[in-house]
Structure 1
Amino acid sequence: MPKFKSTQDILRIIGNKDQIRNFGVIAHVDHGKTTMSDSLLAASGIISPSVAGQALALDSMKLEQNRQMTIRGANVTLFYEMEGKEYVINMIDTPGHIDFTGRVTRALRAIDGVVVVSDSVEGVMTQTETVTRQALEERVRPVLYINKIDRLVKELKLNPDEMQKWLMNIISHFNQLIDIYAEPEIKEKWKVSIQGNSVAFGSAKDRWGFNFKMAKKTGINFKDVYDAYTSNDPAAIKALANRSPLADAVLGMVVEHHPPPHVAQKYRIPKIWPGDLDSDIGKSLIACDDKGPVLMMVTTINVDPQAGRVATGRLYSGTIKDGDDVYLVDAKRPGRVQSVNIYMGNTREIVSFIPAGNIPALLGLDYAIAGETISTVKGAHAFESIKYVSEPVVTIAVEPKHPKDLPKLVEGLRTITVEDPNLIVKINEETGETLMAGMGVLHLEIATSLLQEKGLEIVTTQPLINYRETIRAKAGPIMSKSPNKHNKIFMRVEPLQDDVLEM
């Protein structure tokens, strides 16, 4: 049984960089990220093991629970013991739907490793490829967890040997992505393998899982899995979870393969920070130095009705404390940190201070936005801006049903765009309409639902999609006639030459 660990247990070891891991969970939609995260929370004593797999504890929004999908993502700090050594593991659960891929992009800046979750039947899907490419571009190291192994038995009716051949194809496909998108110097080192203990198998719903080392230690194999799911005894599946807990399989890979922050920053900082690496700030960033100047990048903003903006992000250098005076580098504004917190499940715990290499949540910075660089040095270089894989392409007009609610609508739009920078709100100068643009129809549907949850009655137009087309090659000529049929027009198209475009 996991023993609940308090915030004090975490603070006791949070200054030892070797015992810190920062990782995220990424995947295609509905492949089981949040269900898997439940088992990790249970192993840390944050939720009861009896509800892990069904609680979806990190989907805290009402909309997330109703739709059974992650929209916002969540941060949580876990306490984990492995081979007698204690670890603090900062985890970010991310959305899987492509409309919320901007949240994945921002989360990747704060972490050093990812667990890529893949459905055993569907395998590597389009969004799996997108988020893996994003991770590799940020120099974030992946490991692979293949979920829903029970589907191979129940739906595809595969025997143990066929299951292994099927799963090897998924691993091979995933390594092809690393071969394509990883930088040359890391691609071979970062490829995943069963023998290398960077691949795990399991069922998040049933809370069991194993990797190579666990299989050697416990003797579990695919024959045991096959027998459990073809047995009429319901206790057989529970026995798998007792024998080989999912949390040990996943967090074991995280501890072994994901680097601690002071190791990861040596190769990540040159990619994400454009300043002089030989300066005092640069050396502090590379070393992840607790005693250096504070330099933090905000990756997430949540607006708390009581506390105001909560700025969460990665602290790369220095130690941040309650009452610290800081500078918002991009906003060119001073600020003061009222309270330093960490996330334990869905609640914030006040910790008063936190050293470099961790993911704090700061209160009191009213002008902070996602992507902001926070520093105690006024002239510090900002981190590289976050590059999103797509832009808002779907637009609707939104207005209050009752004109008297216009101020409430303006405030509501301001709040949701602060929390979600991928939502763009602007005024059409010709019509006076308030336009809201998002990544897709679902993105806008969620945004309007959030406005309605604030008690606003709103009216929206049908979504308008902006298609962007260009000429790729020569075509034509084609003939067209004028309305009176007396004139013929011949037209040919071809791309402009590169030197013309450069002008």
Structure 2
Amino acid sequence: MDDLYDEFGNFIGEDVDASEEESQHGVDAGAYLDDDAYPEDAPERTSQELMELDDEGPSNAVVLHEDKQYYPTAQQVYGADVETLVQEEDAQPLTQPIIAPVEVKKFSVEEADLPPVHFDRNFMSDLMNFPDQTRNIALAGHLQHGKTAFMDMLVLETHDITDRLDKRMGKKRDEQLRYTDTHIMERDRGLSVKAAPMSLVLQSTKGKSHLLNVIDTPGHVNFVDEVAASLRLVDGLALVVDVVEGVQVNTEQIIKHAVLEDIPMTLIINKMDRLILELRLPPSDAYFKLKHVVEEVNTIIENTQPGSGKTKRLSPEKGNLLFACSEMGWCFTLQSFSKMYADSFPGVNTEELAKRLWGDIYFNPKKRTFSRKPLPGEQSAKRSFVHFVLEPIYKLFSHTISQSAEELGPILSSLGIQLKPSQYKLDAKILLKLVCEQFFGPSTGFVDMIVQHIPSPVEAAESKLERYYTGPLDTKVAESMKKCDQDGPLVVHVTKLFNTADAKSFYAFGRVMSGIARPGMQIRVLGEGYSIDDEEDMAMATIGSVYIAETRYNVETDGIPAGSLVLLSGIDNSIVKSATLVPPKLEDDEDAYIFKPISHFTESVLKVAVEPINPSELPKMLDGLRKINKSYPLVTTKVEESGEHIILGTGELYMDCVLHDLRKLYADMEIKVSDPVTRFCETVEEMSATKCYAETPNKRNKITMIAEPLDNGIAEDIESGRVNMRDGARKVAKFFQDRYDWDILAARSIWAFGPDEMGPNILQDDTLAEVSRVKCLSYPLVDYFTRGAQYLTTHVLMGWLPRVPGHGSPLTLPTLA
């Protein structure tokens, strides 16, 4: 017994169970080997098969403690596809979950599904195949003049979302309105920051459907870059002006830009209800207020481009002016208002009546005729606009607000307005809105005005190419763009990038100039720096998806033809500001050309420096800066020689939105921002006291430069396009001779305007003709040329200098004279 245990008392003898198992195995093995137990017909077993019986090994194999498995693993319990985390106690605070839910970030308001609309979306996509029935327009104007509210009016007319509004009150109801304000900053601040495109199907007065691609633009003066990017894509402008505030600073800028860019314009005088409910003006005074606003706009048009008053004049009788109250949901032109009379009084000629409803035209109720002068003895005669338009509107407002439900019901019934009994008990403002919507009907007058005075994509294609296309206009590609040919090569002009809801990528927004944009197409992305000689700014890309832009939602489609606006995914990596999309290879191996970069109203002059609080997050901030540069058309990001990362913007609010997007949307980090600095622009007040010069490497030739101020008025003539270098040297010289009394030698020596083609500076060669001829002499006279070059005086501008109004003289501008 002593041999079975060691000195520590551990059993070291033979395991009884193991002995029994071995003996049992031996018995079994012997049974098989016994001839009596083995059937005669069984196959003979080889020694190899007998050896394989003990593959599993004995059950008493030694298992270390760390190799023993007392409990099943999490992988065995939950499966191999489930990720499991093991945390020790108190390793995380109670506010932080051990397994955090998946967070989906959304930085813009989006529709969960496609909202119901009053038109068939397939019909809308089919209308794109008919460019004659398509119009591309931009809504622009000053801040808080009602552009977004006007878009809401059109959205409520085309989208079935009234149920949402009826079920919500207060702030939740406001969220459904301002339909084109989707950015979180727009919702918080109550103003538009980004341009917002929407494609709508609207009917004219005659019941014909038209596709309107409308872009709602911001009104704040800091965000005019969005307006410029939108105006490049559209064929016309609908200018929105508050009737009380009139023409403001941003309105004037937009008018000047539209006139200089030769963009057709229409006018919407908005917030007409303020004349009645807020100012409480009598109808005759309201007429003069309206007339003053119209003349304000026309005066700016005439001053910007003298002589264009007749062709570009905006006036109600021409049909290119709309009276509107977007908050009450109504709008009309004189033509659409005349049709209301024609419906009630058969035999009235709509067009003839509309021509007599504006200006100093008076109605004689006795003779039922119109005259230019009031009747003798009637000093209080009313103009036809007051009598036929304003007074009925005033009466409608006063009856609806002041009278009880019992008295109001018969009056409204006589006008064909039917309301539910419960609606008479609503608030006066809501009741007035319901009455006006039924009285004025849908916005057919707006559609008539746009269709009549804004050209279709086919009609406007040629002028757009002449102004913005850098290539020749006699190629097959140019001819295809002029015709908006769907069968031609794909050409898309992209001017804007919109971030997705999660702000991780961008959609490219542009206009299809030729061909059809389809998903999966291979294209070349030509940047702003691309040219035939330098193809560095070019990249290959594949179109991911093609959408019809609807602001809060996008309608995916299998293709958008020429003449319409398009939203593309999958190509944003190669686009910074604007780009031109063309196929990998054009027909007949034609060269690809780009559209000119956007010419903006203003420049970025407010500068801040940014750096991450945590230095290790610098790559994250750089990626955010790249996205910021894509999102805002006029923002500039760069690294200065000191190593600072600089952001340049147009103003304080602009920079506030840029830095918010950098912190929250694109980088999701904390950054340090320096105090803002405004760039100081200098100009020229008098002739340079010293001459700057440059010498050739052999020190034999010298060219000198000086700068002088321009004469007053020259800068405006250059910027407005009254004089252009493309007109030819003779015509330019004659312009300066006749208008500014320049001598013929100085006028013919003008080389260029700058810094851009329409910049307010002049580069002029003031070299003496005798010395110039010396340059053409042969080699033996090089000594004489060297002596003559010492007296060579060339008046050129020392760098393109900025224009600073109000510095020195009324407009002291750099030039050479």
TM-score by length of 1: 0.90
User: Are the aligned partners of 2:247 and 2:297 in contact in 1 as well (CA < 8 Å)?
Assistant: yes
Please state whether the residue corresponding to 1:76 is helix, strand or coil.
strand
Return the match for 1:97 from 220, 233, 239: 220
Is contact 1:123–1:170 with CA below 8 Å preserved after alignment?
Answer: yes
- Indicate yes or no: 2:566 matched with 1:373: no
Aligned to 1:248: 444
How many residues get paired? 484
State which of 555, 559, 562 in structure 2 corresponds to 1:353: 559
1:174-228 per-position Cα deviation (integer Å, ceiling 9, x unaligned): 12222233586x6533321111111111211111221111211224721233334
Q: Deviations over 1:157-184 (max 9, x none)?
A: 3111111111111111212222233586
Instruction: State the partner residue of 1:279.
Output: 475
2:389 maps to 1:221: yes
- Choose which of 59, 62, 66 in structure 1 pairs with 2:188: 66
The answer as to 2:698 corresponding to 1:501 is no
Q: CA deviation at 1:3?
A: 5.4
Alignment partner, residue 495 of structure 2? 299
Task: Give the secondary-structure state (helix, strand or coil) at the position aligned to 1:167.
Answer: helix
Note if 1:447 corresponds to 2:658: yes
User: Match for residue 132 of structure 1?
Assistant: 255
SS in 1 for 2:796: helix
Partner of residue 742, structure 2: none
| Aligned position for 2:156 | 42
CA–CA separation in structure 2 for the residues paired with 1:229 and 1:343: 37
Check the 8 A contact 2:117/2:160 in 1, yes or no.
Answer: no
| Cα gap change, 1:47 to 1:193, in 2 (>3 Å) | farther
More strand by share: 1
- Aligned partner of 2:521 among 310, 313, 324: 324
TM-aligned CA deviation for residue 502 of structure 1: 4.1
Distance 1:401 1:322, change over 3 A: same
Indicate whether 1:32 and 2:244 are aligned: no
CA distance in 2: counterparts of 1:68 and 1:358, whole angstroms: 30
What CA distance in whole angstroms lies between the structure 2 residues aligned with 1:306 and 1:413? Answer: 13
**SS, match of residue 145 in structure 2:** coil
Of the three residues 668, 673, 677, the one matched with 1:464 is 677
> In the alignment, is residue 120 of structure 1 matched against residue 243 of structure 2?
yes
Q: Distance in 2 between matches of 1:400 and 1:307?
A: 20
Q: How much does 1:306 deviate?
A: 7.7
| Equivalent in the alignment of 1:434 | 645
The answer for the alignment partner of 2:110 in structure 1 is none
Q: Is the contact between residue 77 and residue 345 of structure 1 (CA under 8 Å) also seen in structure 2?
A: no
- Unmatched 5+ residue regions in structure 1? 476-493
CA distance in 1, matches of 2:555, 2:230: 20
Q: Which residue of 1 aligns with 2:619?
A: 407
Q: Does 2:202 match 1:202?
A: no
Is the contact made by 2:329 and 2:433 (CA closer than 8 Å) also made in structure 1? Answer: no
Q: Distance in 2 between matches of 1:237 and 1:163?
A: 21
- What is the Cα deviation at residue 388 of structure 1? 1.2
CA distance in 1, matches of 2:479, 2:305: 26
Using the TM superposition, give the Cα deviation of residue 11 of structure 1 relative to its aligned residue in structure 2, in angstroms.
1.3
- Root-mean-square deviation (Å): 2.6
Which secondary structure state, in structure 2, belongs to the residue aligned with residue 36 of structure 1? helix
- The separation in 2 between residues aligned to 1:147 and 1:53, in whole angstroms, is 22
TM-score by length of 2: 0.56
Residue 310 of structure 1 deviates from its aligned partner by 0.9
2:608 pairs with one of 396, 408, 426: 396
Compare CA radii of gyration and give the structure with the larger one: 2
1:13 to 127, 144, 156: 127
Answer yes or no: is the 8 Å Cα contact 1:13–1:19 preserved in 2: yes
**Helix, strand or coil at the partner of 1:195:** helix
Match of 1:488 in 2: none
Q: 2: distance between equivalents of 1:161 and 1:283?
A: 53
CA distance in 2, matches of 1:228, 1:240: 8
Which string of whole-angstrom CA distances, capped at 9 and with x for unpartnered residues, describes residues 460-500 of structure 1?
A: 1221111213233589xxxxxxxxxxxxxxxxxx9468653
In the alignment, the residues of structure 2 paired with residue 93 and residue 244 of structure 1 have an alpha-carbon distance, to the nearest angstrom, of 23
- Structure 1: how far apart are the matches of 2:465 and 2:255? 20
Q: Is the 8 A contact 2:182 2:551 kept in 1?
A: no
> Closer, same or farther in 2 for the Cα pair 1:258/1:332, shift >3 Å?
same
Per-residue deviation, residues 321-378 of structure 1 (Å, max 9, x unmatched): 1111111122311221121111124211111111100001111112123320111246
Secondary structure in 1 matching 2:317: coil
- Gap change, CA 1:271 and 1:308, over 3 Å in 2: same
- Tell me which amino acid in the other structure corresponds to 1:316: M
- Deviation of 1:311 after TM superposition, in Å, equals 0.6
SS at match of 2:436: helix
Match of 1:340 among 540, 546, 553: 546
> In the alignment, which residue of structure 2 is the partner of 1:424?
636
Asked if 1:77 corresponds to 2:199, the answer is yes
| Aligned equivalent of 1:168 | 291
Do the aligned residues in 1 keep the contact of 2:687 with 2:709 (CA within 8 Å)? no
Give the letter aligned to residue 218 of structure 2.
Answer: P
Which position in structure 2 is the counterpart of 1:155? 278
**Distance (Å, rounded) in 1 between the aligned partners of 2:129 and 2:249:** 39
For the 8 Å contact 1:80–1:86, the answer to whether it is kept is yes
Return closer, same or farther for 1:380/1:226 CA change in 2, 3 Å cut-off: same
Secondary structure in structure 2 of the residue aligned to 1:56:
coil
Amino acid at match of 2:182: S
Give the drift of 1:280: 0.7
How far is the alpha carbon of 1:89 from its aligned partner? 0.9
* Cα contact 2:135–2:451 (8 A) shared by 1: yes
User: Per-residue displacement from partner, 1:88-114 (whole Å, max 9, x unpaired)?
Assistant: 111111111111111111111110011
Q: Deviations over 1:12-44 (max 9, x none)?
A: 221011110100100011111111111111222
- Distance change (3 Å), C-alpha of 1:173 and 1:145: same
Alpha-carbon distance in structure 1 between the residues aligned to 2:526 and 2:160: 36
Alignment match, 1:386 = 598
Residues 391 and 198 of structure 1: is their aligned pair in 2 closer, same or farther, counting only changes over 3 Å? same
Contact 1:52 1:207 in 2 (8 A): no
Alpha-carbon contact 1:35-1:52 (below 8 Å) kept: no
Partners in 2 of 1:396 and 1:316 — Cα distance? Answer: 38
Uncovered stretches (5+) of structure 2, i.e. residues with no partner: 1-115, 166-172, 342-387, 404-427, 528-536, 689-706, 711-763, 767-794, 799-817
- Whether the 8 Å contact between 2:222 and 2:653 is mirrored in structure 1 is yes
Instruction: Identify which range, 412-421 or 451-460, moves more after superposition.
Output: 451-460
What is the CA-CA distance between 1:265 and the residue it aligns to? 1.1
Q: Which moved more, 1:131-140 or 1:338-347?
A: 131-140
Q: 3-state SS of the aligned residue for 1:387?
A: coil
Conserved in 1, the CA contact under 8 Å of 2:518 and 2:546? yes
CA contact (8 A) 1:204 1:246 kept: no
Pair 419,140 (structure 1): closer, same or farther in 2 beyond 3 Å? same
Q: Which residue of 2 aligns with 1:479?
A: none
Cα distance change of structure 1 residues 176 and 246 upon mapping to structure 2, 3 Å threshold: farther
1:207/1:245 contact within 8 Å kept = no
The one-letter code matched in structure 1 to 2:523 is V
> Pick from 506, 512, 524: which aligns with 1:315?
512
AA at the equivalent of 2:552: N
